[in-house]
Amino acid sequence: MKISVVINTLNEEKNIRRCLESVQKLADEVVVCDDGSTDKTLEVAKEFGAKVYHHKSAGYVEAARNFAVGKASNDWVLVIDADEEILKTLADKLREIAALNKVDFVEIPRKNIIFGKWIQYSGWWPDYNVRFFKKGKVRWTDRIHDDPKTIGEGLKLELNKKLAIIHHNYDSIGQFIGRLNNYTEIESQTLAEEGYKFDWRDLISKPAGEFLSRYFAREGYKDGLHGFVLAILQSFSFFVTHLKVWEKEGFEEEAIDFRDLRQQIAKKNKEAKFWLLKILSESEKGTRKFFLKLLKKLNES
């Protein structure tokens, strides 16, 4: 079975060579769908013999996925982003799956490298994605960060870093903030279109809930300072998304009930104490010292 590799691009000169080199032994065809690059992305793609197509940018990749996949001419398709790469072990596995031809799509784990570190907790691993499939069996919606719709029988690869897509995700804080601004604009528009009305309480509950989920429930603390920083940045994303809904509603003034405000803060304080006590009961000595100090601070507040 022949395999097409499909890559969506937008100013990926920095990354695309690494990506193309990693798929050389897997791809019988490489399709690059570009959203309007102004750097040398397409020059590098053509150097590798890729078939290049153009698509008007919507600000996020999902909107162009189906168009790009539609340009593939082979029965099996691997969708990969320009800031990703695969190891030979994964390439061999995908060849084997295509040759057996017993499933319609494959979920592949993904290693996210963020600020120079493989993030193994915080909900970032194993980060399974449907990326390898028979043409016609997988389709993306136009919604940002939405999972694709699948048809038929799927296979979930074993949890093995050698069978994972390596995603060179965020290199810098500036890059994270830049994408955050773009993503929150799209997400706030989606919320507004779905009928959500701004509520100032969500400026506390949504970001705090995201932080507690990432850092405690999904064990982001095990990623050290990286996990702490990412939990804060992702909670800030929720804060900005809801602020942008308020902006779209015309910055309407709304009275804040300070008793309600106190209750909102107290509720999240209680949730944080719950997670701290749970972690303290399970953690090792070195970790306990840090969380005991944090619990003391919460008890004093």
Domains along the chain? 3-168 (3.90.550.10), 173-300 (no CATH)
* CB contact at 8 A, 134 and 76: yes
Which has the higher per-residue pLDDT, 184 or 287? 184
Mean pLDDT (whole number) for 214-219: 94
Give the model's confidence band at 61: pLDDT under 50 very low, under 70 low, under 90 confident, else very high.
confident
Percent of the chain whose pLDDT exceeds 70: 93
pLDDT 10s digits, 38-53: 999 999 999 999 999 9
- Is residue 299 scored above 80 in pLDDT? no
Give the model's confidence band at 208: pLDDT under 50 very low, under 70 low, under 90 confident, else very high.
very high
Residue 219, amino acid? E
Distances (CA, A) of 207 to 19, 104, 283, 284: 34, 38, 25, 28
Phi/psi of residue 256, nearest 5 degrees: -105, 120
CA distance linking residue 51 with residue 45, whole number of Å: 8
- Which of 86-90, 145-149, 197-201 has the weakest average pLDDT? 145-149
Mean pLDDT (whole number) for 182-193: 95
- Is residue 298 scored above 90 in pLDDT? no
Distances (CA, A) of 191 to 62, 146, 185, 234, 248: 17, 14, 10, 17, 11
Mean model confidence pLDDT for the chain: 93
pLDDT (0 to 100) of residue 301? 61
pLDDT 10s digits, 225-275: 999 999 999 999 999 999 999 999 999 998 999 999 999 999 999 998 888
Comparing C-alpha atoms, which of 78, 6, 82 is closest to residue 44?
Answer: 82
Rg of the chain over all Cα atoms, to the nearest angstrom: 22
pLDDT (0 to 100) of residue 148? 94
- Is residue 150 scored above 90 in pLDDT? yes
Mean pLDDT (whole number) for 9-16: 96
pLDDT (0 to 100) of residue 290? 66
pLDDT (0 to 100) of residue 88? 97
pLDDT 10s digits, 100-142: 999 999 999 999 999 999 999 999 999 999 999 999 999 998 8
Q: DSSP letter at 148?
A: P
Mean pLDDT (whole number) for 72-94: 98
Question: How would you label 271-299 residue by residue, b for 16+ Cβ within 10 Å and e otherwise?
Answer: bbeebbeebeeebeeeeeeebeeebeeee
- Which of 68-77, 141-150, 179-188, 226-235 has the weakest average pLDDT? 141-150
* CB contact at 8 A, 271 and 217: no
pLDDT (0 to 100) of residue 63? 75
Structural element, H or E, at residue 212: helix 202-212
- Is residue 285 scored above 60 in pLDDT? no
User: What's the predicted TM-score (pTM) here?
Assistant: 0.89
